[in-house]
Structure 1
Amino acid sequence: MRASRLLSIQMMLETRGPMSATELADALEISVRTLHRDIDQLTAAGVPIYAERGRTGGFRLLDGWNTRLTGLTPAEAQVVFLSGLAGPAADLGLDKPLQGARLKLLTSLPAASRAEAQKMQSRFHLDPVDWYREADAVPHLATVADAVWSERQLSMSYESWRDEVERVVHPLGLVLKAGAWYLVAASDGKPRTYRVSNIKRAAMLESRARRPARFDLARYWAESVARFESELYTDYADVLATPSGLKQLRYLNAAVARAVAEARPSRRKDGRVAVRVPIESVEHGAGQLLRLAPEVEVTGPGRLKRAIVSRLQHVSILYGC
């Protein structure tokens, strides 16, 4: 365990550059005191780690020094094979390099480890596209990806829900979410999200892209998703649900499923329970909840009940009932 941790310290300093004691300790989930003992052991073993004092100080490796470690454990090799998504790699034009990397990895492993590494690929398959959906058509993904890798500005024609606009952006990264590709790019100095399938024209420019200081793609995406969900569900519905209705509510979306799981429902004599769930709007909620009747009955607010009654009246007229 400790040997693995000592190796991790070396590799983090080698790949990330200077890091403070707190940053290293947090990354390794150990105390700062334990980290200092590990650093002492590494320096005693001849690893050239230096401490830099001051506000921006920390630990660093001697320039040009590296671990020269090429071996992988069987478990590490299995994870590498699991992480290679063939579909997304093909979308990015990287399917052949991925196959080549896997082949090189296999030849570098001991014979006893090859079968275990290949077993991961033959036993697990990752499909990022949601049920009842097809992957978006993304004819400009290769150009967008090239701009991301090359750190070049991108000129594009983008179709938003309002209209089609011409824009020059600074690409920061690509995200694959439920089968849809998204470009995160800076516009007017602020990171924004663009659905790649909505890009109608794309051209990589010669000008270098400017990346905001300390930008973290994973953190930006997590915060963006959380913000989107909080802004999306602006209203609520009070419902009475049977046990079957509760199960159907959980399948509506993650926000409703979370509300059902966290609620402390009061059970009635008829076996139904009262729950409050989030909805996007009255009209959207009426359409979603009406199809769950009679297992789910809306009891409030009044504007939502009236919207459901109005829909039922229109359906009655439409079918001559």
Structure 2
Amino acid sequence: MRASRLLSIQMLLETRGRMSARALADVLEISIRTLYRDIDELTAAGVPVYAERGRAGGFELMRGWKTTLTGLTPSEAQAVFLSGLAGPAAELGLGDQVEQAQLKLLAALPASWRDDARRVSSRLYLDPIDWYRESMPLPHLATVATAVWDERPLSIHYESWKLTSRRTIHPLGLVLKAGAWYLVAAGDDKIRTYRVASILAAELQHGVVKRPKGFSLTEHWRQSVQRFEAEVFKGEATLRATAVGLKNLSYLSAAVAKAVAAVAPPESEQTRVELRIPIETIEHATGQLLRLAPEVEVIGPPPLKRATIERLRRIVALYGLNG
């Protein structure tokens, strides 16, 4: 445990540069006293760790010094190969770099570990694109990625579901969700999310991105998803469903699947159970639920039931089934 912690200190100082004692201790989840003991042990072992005093001080490695160890365990090496998504990396223009990095990592690993690391990419394949969909053309993704990496402002021509506009934004990060790329960026004192496929034009600007203090892309995205899911469901529907209907309902969304899981299953294939599910709008729910009929029956609210009946009448008239 301690040997692993000592190696972690080396890696942190090598990758992040100078770090304060408090910052190092917080990352490693140890006390300041334990950290000082570890630093003493590292210097005694010949690792050139230097301390700078003052408000901007901290610990750092001698300039130019570099450990020859990868610091990876066999399982960690496999995880690195698993994380190298070839498709997304290629879309970002990093396909060759990922391949070269994996080759360098293989060369640095002990020979006995190499086959295990290679086995990951030969036996596990991650496909982020949903069923029955193809990857959308993203002509401006490379420009957006450059803006993110280089921390440069970006001027975009953007098409939202409301309107088309031009704006200058400060890119903060890229997120790949369900096969779609999203750009998180600051602008007008607010952080927004932009679908990269909806960017009609993108041009790098001079200057440096103004990154909000303490911003975490992971935490921001998690909160955004929770907020979106809470806001998108504006109503509730009461239904009766067979066992088959419940199964089909569970495929609509995670929120509906949660509601389905909360009810007891029907006693037989012919019986139905009543349940409530969250819905977005009457129009949206009508289209979704009508596809599941007759295994799913709409009970309420009245506007949803009326919309469903009206849709059925129009279908009957369309196919000439009045008689």
Q: Structure 1 length normalisation: TM-score?
A: 0.87
Taking every aligned residue pair, what percent have the same amino acid on both sides? 52
Name the aligned partner's letter for residue 68 of structure 1. T
Contact 1:251 1:257 in 2 (8 A): yes
State yes or no: 1:138 paired with 2:138: yes
1:68 maps onto 2:80 in alignment: no
Shift of 1:250: 0.8
Q: Secondary structure at the match of 2:192?
A: strand
Judged with a 3 Å threshold, the aligned counterparts in structure 2 of structure 1 residues 190 and 24 are, in CA distance, closer, same or farther, namely farther
State whether residues 14 and 61 of structure 2, in contact with CA within 8 Å, keep that contact through their aligned partners in structure 1. Answer: no
Q: Relative to 1, partners in 2 of residues 1:115 and 1:284: Cα closer, same or farther, differing over 3 Å?
A: same
**Separation in 2, partners of 1:140, 1:230:** 31
Match of 1:222 in 2: 222
SS in 2 for 1:61: strand
Give the aligned length: 311
The corresponding residue for 1:304 is 304
Matches of residues 70-219 of structure 1 in structure 2 within 5 Å? Answer: 70-71=69-70, 72-219=72-219
Say which SS state the counterpart of residue 171 (structure 2) adopts.
strand
Q: Does the alignment pair 1:39 with 2:53?
A: no
Bigger shift: residues 145-154 or 4-13: 4-13
- State the 1:266 CA deviation: 8.4
Aligned CA distance change for structure 1 residues 103 and 315 (closer, same or farther; 3 Å): same
Query: Within 1, Cα distance between the matches of 2:10 and 2:217?
Result: 24
Matches within 5 A, 1:224-239: 224-239=224-239
2:46 — aligned with what?
Answer: none
Q: Choose the corresponding residue for 1:18, options 3, 17, 20.
A: 20
The more displaced of 44-53 and 109-118 is: 44-53
Q: How many Å separate the matches in 2 of 1:272 and 1:19? A: 63
**Contact 1:240/1:299 (CA < 8 Å) preserved in 2?**
yes
Shift of 1:267: 5.7
**Matched-pair contact (CA < 8 Å) for 1:246–1:260:** yes
Change (3 A) 1:151 1:299: same
Task: Say whether the 8 Å CA contact 1:153–1:209 is kept in structure 2.
Answer: yes
Report deviation, 1:43.
3.7
Structure 1: how far apart are the matches of 2:80 and 2:315? Answer: 54
For structure 1, which segment, 219-228 or 103-112, has the greater mean C-alpha deviation from structure 2 after superposition?
Answer: 103-112
Q: Cα–Cα, structure 1 residues 255 and 265, in superposed 2: closer, same or farther, change >3 Å? A: same
**Native 8 Å contact 1:154 1:169 kept in 2:** yes
Shift of 1:291: 1.2
Residue deviations 1:252-277, cap 9 Å, x none? 1111112222x244867963222111
Q: Which moved more, 1:7-16 or 1:238-247?
A: 7-16
For residue 75 of structure 1, report the CA deviation from its aligned partner: 1.4
- Cα distance change, pair 44–207 in 1 and its aligned pair in 2 (3 A): closer
SS of 1:210's equivalent in the other structure is coil
- SS of the residue corresponding to residue 172 of structure 2 reads strand
Partner residue, 2:315: 315
CA RMSD of aligned residues (A): 2.7
Which ranges of structure 2 fall in alignment gaps of 5 or more residues?
Answer: 44-48
Q: Is the 8 A contact 1:11 1:67 kept in 2?
A: no
Q: Whole-Å Cα distance in 2 between the matches of residues 165 and 202 of structure 1?
A: 12
Tell me the residue number matched to 1:288.
288
- 8 Å Cα contact 1:266/1:274 also seen in 2: no
* SS of alignment partner, residue 128 of structure 1: coil
User: How far, CA to CA, are the matches of 1:68 and 1:105 in structure 2?
Assistant: 14
Q: CA deviation at 1:216?
A: 0.6
Name structure 1 gaps, 5 residues minimum: none
Amino acid at match of 2:20: P
For normalisation by structure 2, the TM-score amounts to: 0.86
Distance 1:73 1:267, change over 3 A: closer
CA shift in 2, pair 1:12/1:292, >3 Å? same
Q: Which amino acid aligns with 1:198?
A: S
**Map of 1:259 onto structure 2:** 259
Q: CA deviation at 1:212?
A: 0.8
Distance 1:151 1:78, change over 3 A: same
Distance 1:239 1:42, change over 3 A: same
Report the AA paired with residue 123 of structure 2: R
> 1:273 aligns to what?
273
